[in-house]
Amino acid sequence: DGGITQSPKYLFRKEGQNVTLSCEQNLNHDAMYWYRQDPGQGLRLIYYSQIVNDFQKGDIAEGYSVSREKKESFPLTVTSAQKNPTAFYLCASSIDPGQGLHQPQHFGDGTRLSIL
């Protein structure tokens, strides 16, 4: 089955620690996205990538970093500089919007990050 796999489902971070969230897709999508979801708020864009080896900051990129070395993978690192990392993190992918603006985004099942 084609889809997006996020791991782990739950993650705990200690003070001063960097943690990496995994996102893998087998939909052959060019574009991938990371969102953060907090209670009572909509999803907010952290980073996005339209093509391998290229990525751009979203609305709330501070304290986060990404890489896009392979088309299938878009890992997100939550660094110690992110002072309030507790949230639900969602990864999404889509056909390159440049090839058609009406391509829906497909989402993984998320990773819930908490602070120890």
Partner 1 sequence: KQEVTQIPAALSVPEGENLVLNCSFTDSAIYNLQWFRQDPGKGLTSLLLIQSSQREQTSGRLNASLDKSSGRSTLYIAASQPGDSATYLCAVRSGGTSYGKLTFGQGTILTVHP
Any contact of residue 90 with partner 1 (CB under 8 A)? Answer: yes
Among 16, 40, 83, 116, the residue binding partner 1 under the rule CB under 8 A is 40
Q: CA-CA distance, 87 to 6, in Å (whole number)?
A: 15
Any contact of residue 75 with partner 1 (CB under 8 A)? Answer: no
Q: What is the residue whose two structure tokens read 């993978």?
A: 73
Asked whether the beta carbons of 30 and 40 are under 8 A apart, the reply is no
Kindly state the smallest distance separating residue 79's Cβ from partner 1, in Å. 23
Binding mask 54-73 for partner 1 (x = CB under 8 A): --x-x---------------
Stretch that binds partner 1, among 12-20, 41-49, 67-75, 76-84 (CB under 8 A): 41-49
What is the contact surface with partner 1 in residues (CB under 8 A)? Answer: 4, 6, 31, 40-45, 48, 50, 56, 58, 90, 92, 94, 97-98, 101-110, 112
